[in-house]
Chain A
Amino acid sequence: MNKIPSALQLGIRRGALEIRQFARQRESVVFTLLFPVILLAIFGSVFKDTIAPGVTFSQYFVAGMIASGLVNTGFQALAITIPMERDFGALKRLRGTPMPASSYFIGKAILIFASMVVQILLLLGFGVLFFGLEMPTDPGKWLTFAWLVLLGSACSTALGIAFSIVPKSGRGASAVVSPIVIILQFFSGVFFVFTQLPSWMQQVAAIFPLKWLTQGMRSVFLPDSFATQEVAKSWETERTAVILLVWLVIGIFFSVRKFKWDRD
């Protein structure tokens, strides 16, 4: 008798399968990967001003788009598609096999990370080519960028899986999830300059990860002189890491404890 494969091994296999499945859904591929680019094109064409010396709105907006891309691609997509998989009976069938839950979660994390990488490459390429986006030159900033994307997509994946228990059906999922994400985007300074928002909005946003991801991305794409214009007069890098980690733990906890494989 051979041994049953490890959870990690199966997780990687599931990741490959999820990517293959995703790549075949042409509409969602185009929507997920190009939506941020389209938004950049719209906002970049409308707002041509600089918001601080040497900082164009596009530069500011790209930071916000990458951060909210993490939320859209991870949290929003999973909180909508997992209830659909549940409705289809796909999750129950998986539950009946020796595949452990953690492999399913790892597969989702791989899918989200891979599509984030493609999405970011497209957005940055498009920004540099058409909207004068300036890339950071300091290797330290790229390091920050790398851990932000990794931690951000892990956090977003875990929270998306955890939140998938909320919608009662796949059909209604979008109506539950999308407004939350859109409101968070407005509150977190994705579409507007964060410091210009009313302070109660800022305080609400500060509870959730998107504000911190957006601020973290600004620390990568905006000059350090801009840090003085943040609410805390600094990038608050350590605090960002801590808050994202806390949300990651919360997401994993509820995913492991409360995940629903079956409709009822």
Chain B
Amino acid sequence: MSLIEVKGLKKSYGDVHAVRGLDLSIAQGEIFSLLGPNGAGKTTTVEILEGFRTRDAGSVSVLGFDPQTRGHESRIWRNRIGIVLQSSSDAGDLTVIETIKHFSCYYSNPRNVDEVIHSVGLKEKEGALIRNLSGGQRRRLDVALGIIGNPELLFLDEPTTGFDPEARRAFWALIQQLRTDGTSILLTTHYLDEAEALADRVAVINNGVIIEVSTPAELGGRATSQATVQWRDGDSIKSEKTDNPTALVSSLSSAFKGEVPELIVTRPSLEDIYLEMIGGANE
């Protein structure tokens, strides 16, 4: 059964058609990443799924529930999801542990506060006031507040903006652990390497519709696209696109009688493919 099911979703702001007939299906237990340039309708879509915005047309089901519904039903639904928003800088006068403890009382079956603090790597900072945290530490607190309710589904919006590379790696490990523990995750990100490292499937959204859904390795025909072979020949760097890189490398190897100087074989990165896709769609 799919966790999120969207059909024919439409949303306009005045004359601007932000989302124009979008379909999406996300399975239980996967990390699904939504990619797209600013203004593509990504945020609008996610905010509709999160129950922050109403839709103009189409059907939306998240955990079998219409996010647009209000009242007690909506509380029961929110009890099962977690949301990590893009930025929040509130409650600077509370400590990390006070805040997490307080949020835990909103839910019927919260995770253990201490465990959550450990898992986001804030153990040493648990007694610190939020206003004294660094940007990355604040972000990890945001994540802690998103997962404290033990959600079945977690929305992650640009989670690692402003992280240093080491913190990002640690964060990715945390997200993978959450998935292993059974949480499904909808990730929106600008970082293609992040989507590649985490997502089971990615969807590219542009001009208010989904243009492709695939695994990161196969997106845009990436797995079967031409490889680029690059090497040094005397003073110059040469490169060649080919469908048969192995054959090319072996012929180079015999030409150089062994080691090919500065040999690199690449396939297009997810970023290359992505840029090509949204560039093509914009023309």
Produce 1/0 per residue, A147-166, CB < 8 A to B. 00000000000000000000
B106 near A89 with CB under 8 A, answer: no
Q: How far is the CA of A24 from the CA of B106 in the complex (A)?
A: 23
Are A262 and B52 in contact (CB-based, < 8 A)?
A: yes
Other-chain contact of B85, A13, A25, A93, A100 (Cβ < 8 Å): A93
Give residues 34-91 of B contacting A (CB, 8 Å).
Answer: 50-52, 75-76, 78-79, 81, 83, 85-91
Asked whether any CB of chain B lies closer than 8 Å to the CB of A98, the reply is yes
Within 8 Å CB of A262, what residues of B? 52
Question: Contact between B91 and A90 (Cβ–Cβ < 8 Å)?
Answer: yes
Are B79 and A4 touching (Cβ within 8 A)?
Answer: yes
A192: min CB distance to chain B, Å: 38
Task: Give per-residue flags for A84-102: 1 if the beta carbon is below 8 A from chain B beta carbons, else 0.
Answer: 0100111011011111100
Cβ A17 vs Cβ B94 within 8 A = yes
Q: How far is the CB of B205 from chain A (nearest CB, A)?
A: 20
Q: Please, how many residues of chain A have a CB less than 8 angstroms from a CB on the other chain? A: 25
Minimum CB–CB distance for B141 against chain A, Å: 11
Contact A95 B102 (CB under 8 A): no
Query: B120: shortest Cβ distance to chain A, in Å?
Result: 16
| Beyond known contacts A17-B102, A21-B93, A262-B52: 18 more, CB 8 A cutoff | A4-B75, A5-B108, A13-B102, A85-B90, A89-B86, A89-B87, A89-B89, A90-B90, A92-B88, A93-B145, A96-B50, A96-B51, A96-B52, A97-B106, A97-B107, A98-B79, A98-B107, A99-B106
Distance (Å) between the CB of B144 and the closest chain A CB? 12
A242 within 8 A of B: no
Minimum C-beta distance from A95 to chain B (A): 7
B93 to chain A, nearest CB (A): 4
When C-beta atoms are compared, the residue in chain A nearest to B81 turns out to be A96
Residue B172 interfacial (CB < 8 Å): no
Say yes or no for A137: interface residue by CB 8 A criterion. Answer: no
Contact B90 A89 (CB under 8 A): yes
State whether B90 touches A88 (Cβ < 8 A).
Answer: yes
Instruction: Judge if A233 is at the interface, Cβ distance under 8 Å.
Output: no
Whole-angstrom CA separation of A89 from B75 in the bound complex: 20
The smallest C-beta distance from A211 to any residue of chain B, in angstroms, reads 35
Interface membership of A2, Cβ < 8 A: yes
Q: Is A1 an interface residue (CB 8 A)?
A: yes
Instruction: Point out the residue from A1, A10, A92, A98 that lies within 8 Å of B78, measured CB to CB.
Output: A98
Contacting residues of chain A (32-91) with chain B, CB-CB under 8 angstroms: 85, 88-90
Are B106 and A88 in contact, CB atoms less than 8 angstroms apart? no
**B contact residues vs A (CB 8 Å cutoff):** 50-52, 75-76, 78-79, 81, 83, 85-91, 93-94, 98, 102-103, 105-109, 129, 145, 149
Point out the residues of chain A lying under 8 angstroms from B93, CB to CB: 21, 24-25
Q: Residue of B at shortest CB range from A2?
A: B108
Across-interface contacts of B89 in A (CB, < 8 A): 88-89
Complex alpha-carbon distance, A60 and B81, angstroms: 55
Say yes or no: A92 contacts B75, CB within 8 Å. Answer: no
B78: chain A residues at CB < 8 Å are 96-98
Q: Do B76 and A4 have beta carbons less than 8 Å apart?
A: yes
Q: List 5 A-B contacts (CB under 8 A).
A: A1-B109, A24-B93, A97-B78, A98-B79, A99-B106
Contacts of B90 in A (CB 8 A): 85, 88-90, 93
Complex contacts, B87 vs chain A, CB 8 Å: 89
Name the contact of A98 in the complex, choosing from B50, B85, B98, B106 (C-beta under 8 A): B106
